[in-house]
Amino acid sequence: MDILCELYLLGVAGPELHPHDESHTFRFCPRCGGALEHRVLKITEPARLVCTQCGFVFYIDPKIAVGTIIEVDDGQLVLVKRAIDPGYGQWVFPGGYVDRGETLAAAAVREAREECGLDVRLEGLVNVYSYPGRAPVIVVYAATATGGTLCVDDEGLEVAALKPDDIPWHELAFRSTHDGLRDYLAGLRHPLHR
């Protein structure tokens, strides 16, 4: 383990997280267009954005994302180098945001197909990751490839199937990428509900 990797584990250094908490940028009610203001509705909860015209409460919910750690031949893992920010030029396993009404498993399979060209079978849940002050909640699956051909879409610069020893720990896009791979390689798997 190199020094950078140790620093990541200590939380001293690390890749940037998704900067998707943009609640401060919302100024108008999505229902009526009135001005929003911060109001404390319950003393035990954070202030909410409330419309000064119609009273609509604009809850800023977490954002649910899925990631899939895909094993191909000989235990190699699929990583994609990102072509978009955040994390441009850094490595991540295929994944993305879950659409409303879509199941987590369906989103994981869809994102894998879109981002690296593979059809996958989900083998287990690795873990769920969330970080203080950050909007995304990341659900990470273990999967095996069942078909398709490795390729990238417009969100990837390149794709690689890497042996665990070749994972570029100091060039990973997100903390959840690091934590998911660490837990996967430690053998963490939770059974899936079928």
Q: Which is nearer to Zn ion, 23 or 76 (CB)?
A: 23
Give the number of other Cβ atoms within 10 Å of residue 166's Cβ: 11
| CA atoms in the 13 A half-sphere facing the CB of 106 | 6
From 6, 16, 37, 158, the catalytic residue? 158
Show the beta-strand stretches assigned E in 72-131: 77-82, 91-92, 95-97, 118-130
Residue 36 structure tokens: 């929003």
Candidates 8, 18, 29, 116; binder of Zn ion (CB under 5 A) is 29
Encoded tokens for 109: 């399979």
Binding Zn ion (rule: CB under 5 A), the pick from 7, 13, 32, 84 is 32
Report which of 110, 129, 141 is spatially closest to residue 15, judged by C-alpha positions. 129
**Rounded least distance, CB 52 to Zn ion, Å:** 8
Q: Which stretch binds Zn ion (CB under 5 A): 9-17, 26-34, 85-93, 183-191?
A: 26-34
At closest approach, how far in Å is the CB of 116 from Zn ion?
42
Position 84 contacts Zn ion (CB under 5 A): no
118 close to 150: Cβ distance less than 8 angstroms: yes
Which part of the chain contacts Zn ion (CB under 5 A), choosing from 18-26, 46-54, 94-102, 110-118?
46-54
Candidates 49, 51, 66, 80: give the one binding Zn ion (CB under 5 A): 51
Q: Report the C-alpha gap between 181 and 69 in whole angstroms.
A: 8
Q: Can residue 56 be called a binding residue for Zn ion (CB under 5 A)?
A: yes
In the complex, least distance from residue 54 CB atom to Zn ion, rounded to whole angstroms: 3
Give the interface segment with Zn ion, choosing from 56-64, 88-96, 106-114, 141-149 (CB under 5 A): 56-64
- In eight-state DSSP terms, residue 87 is S
Residue 123 annotated in active site: no
Q: Please give the helix or strand (H or E) that residue 184 lies within, else none.
A: helix 175-185
Binding site for Zn ion (CB under 5 A): 29, 31-32, 34, 51, 53-54, 56
Give the catalytic positions in this structure. 158
